[in-house]
Amino acid sequence: MLAKESLEFLEDLRKNNNRDWFISQKKRYDKYKENYHALISDFIKVMSTYDEKLESLSVKDCTFRINRDIRFSKDKSPYKTHMGIWMSTGQKNTNLAGYYIHIEKGQSFIAGGKWQPEASDLKKIRKEIEFFHDELDEIIADKKFQSEFGGFDREDSLKTAPKGLEKDHPAIEHLKLKSFVVSQKIDDKLLASKDFVQNVSAKLALIKPLNEFLNRALSTEE
């Protein structure tokens, strides 16, 4: 269960995003980290009932460091002010699609799929879509999937057909995508629910067929 104190810590960190304050709050951070890891463990347990390939995940496979990488960022705030959980059958440092949970007051969301694949992986996914777009359309057209996610997030998309692909291909709108992600905003009220893990897991489980489609493409040899 997500602890109220964890959300309060993140909100205070957002207002005091500096090293001195963070060091002074070590006890609070330790409790936050304990709750973070316990929540991940709960998600792995429940999500594994929907996607058995997640059973081999450990907590460390799904965590993110609280420190931000500020080397190339104009924002030099040293710490992340959200809780992130990533679950993938390929674990955290591989190229496979997976499930993501973002927890932040007023900005929480869940997502799944593959975000900004590298050029070689993007080519694999587009090839899979080119030849098996009917299967992808069927996945996205599922009534429960539609009611929760609608379709792909389209902010990261080309304006014209990718090089080498026909402009009138029946799946051209999918083929224009540079990310293959679906998402849904999560209300703060759900975060406080005792059934938070179960409710979110049931939603994420609807993304499993999409992840399997993408991972089939990503696992092929060129």
Confidence of residue 222 (pLDDT cuts 50, 70, 90): low
Coil vs helix vs strand at 153? coil
Tokens linked to 4: 């109220």
Query: How many CA atoms lie within 13 Å of 79's alpha carbon, on the beta-carbon side?
Result: 20
**Confidence at residue 156, expressed as pLDDT on a 0 to 100 scale:** 86
Alpha helices, DSSP H, located in the chain: 4-15, 19-24, 26-47, 59-62, 119-141, 143-149, 172-175, 188-191, 196-204, 208-218
Report the C-alpha gap between 219 and 222 in whole angstroms. 10
**Is residue 95 scored above 90 in pLDDT?**
no
- Residue 126's identity, in one-letter code, is R
82 touches 52 (CB < 8 A)? no
Cα–Cα nearest to 96, from 106, 104, 88: 88
DSSP label at residue 161:
P
C-alpha torsion 97→108→145→150, nearest 10: -100
Confidence of residue 198 (pLDDT cuts 50, 70, 90): very high
Query: How many CA atoms lie within 13 Å of 202's alpha carbon, on the beta-carbon side?
Result: 6
pTM score above 0.85: yes
- Residue 122's identity, in one-letter code, is L
Confidence of residue 20 (pLDDT cuts 50, 70, 90): very high
CA distances from 136 to 84, 113, 131, 174 (A): 27, 12, 10, 9
**Confidence at residue 91, expressed as pLDDT on a 0 to 100 scale:** 59
Report the C-alpha gap between 155 and 38 in whole angstroms. 34
**Confidence at residue 168, expressed as pLDDT on a 0 to 100 scale:** 87
**Is residue 93 scored above 60 in pLDDT?**
no
| 192 vs 187, residue with greater confidence | 187
Coil vs helix vs strand at 163? coil
